[in-house]
Structure 1
Amino acid sequence: MTLPLPPADESRLIEAARSGDLEAFNALIRRYQDRLYNLAYRIMGDHDSAADAVQEALIAAFRGIRSFRGGSFQAWLARIVTNACYDELRRRRRRPQASLEALFVVDQGPEAEWTLPPVEGPETYVENRELAELLHQALQSLPEDQRVVLVLADVEGYSYEEIAEILRVPVGTVKSRLSRARMRARDFLLAHRELLPGIRRPP
């Protein structure tokens, strides 16, 4: 996992990027690109759409970096990626194809609730893939606004305030969407409780 840049170094690179320095911008993006891609992947549900959304978002970020007015640069990038995902979902207007790999990405923090137990043998491997498919279906079954909030909070580990900044909605809206998303995801998983042993259920 890439460590964040020291604030002074990040500020220096941001100022250089605001002056049109592409290398400085690329140095910033390298620190966050994996997390941004994982965010897009879990929202979109497939590799190609996630890659397209991130590419469009980074182009938009470079063109619009002069509009960055301080605060969390990572949250600013996440907002642009989230908006790019929303735009792509609006264009598609269909459910994304289920894909398993995103649920095997090991993260740190609150999102650990969604990670799978280690593979111990062939039977466990098959069970884990079934669980991964179920979890992915649970995420993809949510309405777009609830899915995005659940991914940002319980997978990516953003705070309520950061999510409110990313989505440009009140904190109360974030909390209500997250509560509904967790309840719907929980109901989906409990409807398939026979596949749940070995995994922690979302709250």
Structure 2
Amino acid sequence: MAMTPEQEKAYVELAQKGDVDAFNMLVEQHQRLAVNLAARLLGDLGLGEDATQNAFMSAYRGLSGFRGGNFRSWLLRIVANACHDIRRSSGRRPTASLDDEDLGLVAVLRSPQESPEDHAIRMELQREIQRGISTLAEDQKLALILVDVQGFGYQEVAEVLNANLGTVKSRLSRARSALRDHMLKRRELLPAGLRLDTEDG
């Protein structure tokens, strides 16, 4: 069950006083979202889990520096930084190995009933989108995942990126354009309506 803002604030205050159980409640509340973001940024679920663990440890050590506001935004900024550190230390580019539907890459494409062929096409489309995301610049990738995959509003994304709204919109626009260009190379995977639109355009 999701916490109310008041409950989250209370747990944060307890955790800042050294209450480990309170911090664990915050971890439980945000862990799935954090792993999802990290796995998308790194293109690998295992690395995403490692980055999330590192981020939660950093968040616990840095709780005294949290001065109020949106705790989720503050936490996800730490997750993004942890992903950057892992990528820099490993010297590897993000891959596109994510196959776990539970990560919810393109929720709008989900259907409760589909044929095996449609399912295979949908999964290949998801993989191709992830490949496209993996080619984006780091700041563009973060903006795209937060807005288009996880459904964040621009203001909260600005808080995560520590940037103004204009910068967020600019990064998102460039990311969407680059991803669209990538997907046009595999237009046979797109739904028929979108495929016709792109061919006409």
Band of TM-score, shorter chain: 0.7 to 0.9
Is 2:59 the partner of 1:61? yes
Normalised TM-score (structure 2): 0.88
Counterpart CA distance in 2 for 1:58 and 1:200 is: 40
User: Which one-letter code corresponds to 2:69 in the other structure?
Assistant: G
| Secondary structure of the corresponding residue to residue 58 of structure 2 | helix
Give the equivalent residue in structure 2 for 1:122: 116
Gaps of 5+ in 1: none
- Change in Cα spacing, 1:200 to 1:106, as seen in structure 2 (3 Å) is farther
Of 181, 185, 191, the match for 1:187: 181
Bigger Cα displacement from structure 2, 90-99 vs 137-146: 90-99
Do the aligned residues in 2 keep the contact of 1:139 with 1:185 (CA within 8 Å)? yes
Give the equivalent residue in structure 2 for 1:38: 36
| Secondary structure of the corresponding residue to residue 26 of structure 1 | helix
Bigger Cα displacement from structure 2, 164-173 vs 179-188: 164-173
Aligned length: 195
Shift of 1:56: 0.5
Normalised TM-score (structure 1): 0.87
Is 2:12 the partner of 1:18? no
Do the aligned residues in 1 keep the contact of 2:41 with 2:83 (CA within 8 Å)? yes
Gaps of 5+ in 2: 196-201
Of 176, 184, 195, the match for 2:170: 176
User: Which one-letter code corresponds to 2:172 in the other structure?
Assistant: L
Shift of 1:53: 0.5
User: Which one-letter code corresponds to 2:8 in the other structure?
Assistant: E
Do the aligned residues in 2 keep the contact of 1:146 with 1:180 (CA within 8 Å)? yes
Is 2:88 the partner of 1:90? yes
Shift of 1:38: 0.5
Shift of 1:104: 5.1
| Secondary structure of the corresponding residue to residue 136 of structure 2 | coil
Give the equivalent residue in structure 1 for 2:69: 71
Counterpart CA distance in 1 for 2:193 and 2:125 is: 8
Counterpart CA distance in 2 for 1:34 and 1:195 is: 29
Give the equivalent residue in structure 2 for 1:7: 5
Deviations 1:156-196 (A, max 9, x none): 22222211211212222111111000000011111211111
Give the equivalent residue in structure 1 for 2:130: 136
Give the equivalent residue in structure 2 for 1:52: 50
Shift of 1:60: 0.4
Deviations 1:59-102 (A, max 9, x none): 00000111111111111111110111111122233322322325
Counterpart CA distance in 2 for 1:77 and 1:198 is: 39
- Change in Cα spacing, 1:51 to 1:104, as seen in structure 2 (3 Å) is closer
Shift of 1:7: 2.6
Do the aligned residues in 2 keep the contact of 1:75 with 1:165 (CA within 8 Å)? yes
Do the aligned residues in 1 keep the contact of 2:140 with 2:172 (CA within 8 Å)? yes
- Change in Cα spacing, 1:29 to 1:101, as seen in structure 2 (3 Å) is same
User: Which one-letter code corresponds to 1:65 in the other structure?
Assistant: L
Shift of 1:46: 0.6
Shift of 1:129: 2.2
